[in-house]
């Protein structure tokens, strides 16, 4: 399956299994879905002393354990370390899709 297919499959799983549907997503009006996606996408990458902006929070080094403060939800919701790099990117893509859909529903685009 290609990347788009994997992301679509993950988004469907999020809706059906986790209950992260439009009603749920519409409560995240401060960019939390996009920030969570960014956190999933960069988790585990090592870039030396460079700084990355995730939302408005600068994350130094992008090494495991150095930027949890950017993750928008509590530690019990943070399952990034449980997944492979590919799986994290798929989840990030699904979160981005959820944020795009939320913005469409809100008339922000």
8 A C-beta contact, residue 28 and residue 108: no
In this model, does residue 56 exceed pLDDT 70?
no
pLDDT at 35: 86
As a whole number, mean pLDDT of residues 69-88 equals 86
53 - beta bridge partners? 58
Convert 48-80 to b/e letters by CB count within 10 Å (16 or more is b). Answer: eeeebebbeeebebbeeeebeebbbeeeeebeb
Look up the pTM and report it. Answer: 0.81
The H or E element containing residue 58 is strand 57-60
Report the candidate in 88, 96, 77, 76 with the shortest Cα–Cα distance to residue 35: 96
pLDDT in tens, 6-19: 999 999 999 999 99
């Amino acid at each position: 399956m290609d990347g788009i297919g994997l992301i679509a499959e993950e988004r469907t799983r999020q809706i059906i299994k986790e209950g992260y549907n439009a009603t749920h997503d519409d409560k995240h009006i401060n960019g939390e879905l996009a920030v969570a996606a960014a956190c999933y996408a960069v988790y585990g990458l090592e870039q030396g002393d460079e700084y990355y902006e995730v939302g408005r929070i600068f994350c130094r080094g992008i090494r495991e354990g150095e930027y949890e403060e950017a993750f928008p939800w509590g530690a019990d919701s943070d399952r990034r370390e449980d997944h492979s790099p590919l799986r994290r990117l798929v989840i990030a893509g699904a979160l981005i899709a959820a944020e795009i859909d939320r913005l469409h529903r809100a008339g922000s685009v």
